[in-house]
Amino acid sequence: MIIKSFTAETAAAALKRVRREMGGDAIVLKTRQLSGGKDDSRVEVTACLENPTAYQSSETLAGRLDAETLTVDPKRSPTAAYELRPKRRTSSEQTTAAPDIGNRLEVLEQKLDRLIKTVRSIGHGDTTVFDDVRDNLKNADLSDDMIASIIYDAALNQTAAVDPVETAREQLTVRLAELMEPNLTFQPGDRVAFIGPAGAGKSTLMGKVAAQLTVQVKQKVTLTTLDKSRMAAAEEVRRYAEVLEAVLVEPAMLETPDESSADSITLIDTPALPPTAEGREELRAAVDVINPTCRVAVFSALMRCNDALAVAELLEPLEPTHLAVTMTDLTDRLGAVVSIADATGWKIAMLSDAPAGLGGVRRPDPDRTARLLLKAEVVGD
């Protein structure tokens, strides 16, 4: 790889030097307005050539032309090639020249063009330094919009050309930290509803949360279910209550304030998200009557991103506050739930395995998740 900086009076002129010396495969890494000294009105463009030929290497490394400025010869035709001419400025020009706003705008435009080109390359087969990043994130089932955003932000970093994967990981970790709430806790009097599509593992997750609250945190727990459509739902919740010595109540008992539940954390199982708008409205009304303080939308890690985003849109009227992802022991593709968090603002608060899994409910870790999405080495594994 060859990395070289070019300076000229304008960004456009500097880019012409990049194209002439490094060719059309050159990637612009940075554009900046020089300040201070004799070059305070010049623009510097830093570019790289990932796989230079022997000829390109010799030409690029031999062409040290930083002291020259690209100008157009007015006597030549508008289509003539640009010529290299040295330019000297007097001390008065250096101290009294007004800032060239046009040049600054041109610098910003060139920077924007570079970033747009990087984003547009996603999914179109263009070769960029972020090819591996893009492929791994797509394989992790992250949405195209979020992949574009991550690569867009990573491209702003000066280390992108040197280590694009690490640069993207750092950027992704920062983004994931904003999308996660690893320290979610419940207090006596809280009501937590678990909502989501069929097969997501809502009842199992509720049982695991109840076990942790009862055994580890030593909290009193009350259980109930709104699921009247699945015959085994009530029986499953009843078994959880017996094993954990938790209180089992009917949903109607939660419709009015009760002092007896003020010292308990109430966990509420709900039926699968109904397929009809009428059914979803009835579910929303039933949940609203109980008035949960926390509504956890539960998604399986096995659900594909587009399907998960479509379900999330149907769940919005139920006003979820947090996200939980189950079956994480069956796949490392967490992109769907991450994409939901990015699209909705619901923060990821719980990770859990499949119903047969031995693990309890875990807290999300931004750095670990970023490494999984990018197929990087996971610290601690």
pLDDT along the chain (381 residues), means of 10: 80 78 75 65 78 56 40 39 39 47 61 52 53 93 91 84 89 96 94 95 94 92 89 86 91 75 90 94 95 96 95 96 95 94 96 82 96 81 50
Between CA 129 and CA 165 the distance in angstroms is: 9
Angle at 162 between CA 157 and CA 167, to 5 degrees: 45
- Sequence-distant (6+) residues with CB within 8 A of 53 are none
What is the model's pLDDT at position 189?
93
Local structure of 378: helix, strand or coil: coil
Local structure of 28: helix, strand or coil: strand
What is the model's pLDDT at position 52?
64
pLDDT digits (tens, 9 = 90+) for 313-343: 999 999 999 999 999 999 988 999 999 999 9
What is the model's pLDDT at position 75?
42
- Retrieve residue 79's tokens: 């289509």
Crossing angle between the packed helical segments 335-344 and 366-373, to the nearest 10 degrees: 120
Q: Which CATH architecture has domain 182-364?
A: 3-Layer(aba) Sandwich (3.40)
Which amino acid, residue 253? M
The strand ranges marked E within 245-356 are: 247-248, 265-269, 294-300, 322-326, 347-351
Among the residues of 296-373, which ranges form H helices? 305-315, 335-344, 366-373
What is the model's pLDDT at position 233?
81
Per-domain boundaries in the chain: 1-118, 121-180, 182-364
- Retrieve residue 108's tokens: 């910003």
What is the model's pLDDT at position 115?
53
pTM over 0.75: no
What is the model's pLDDT at position 355?
83
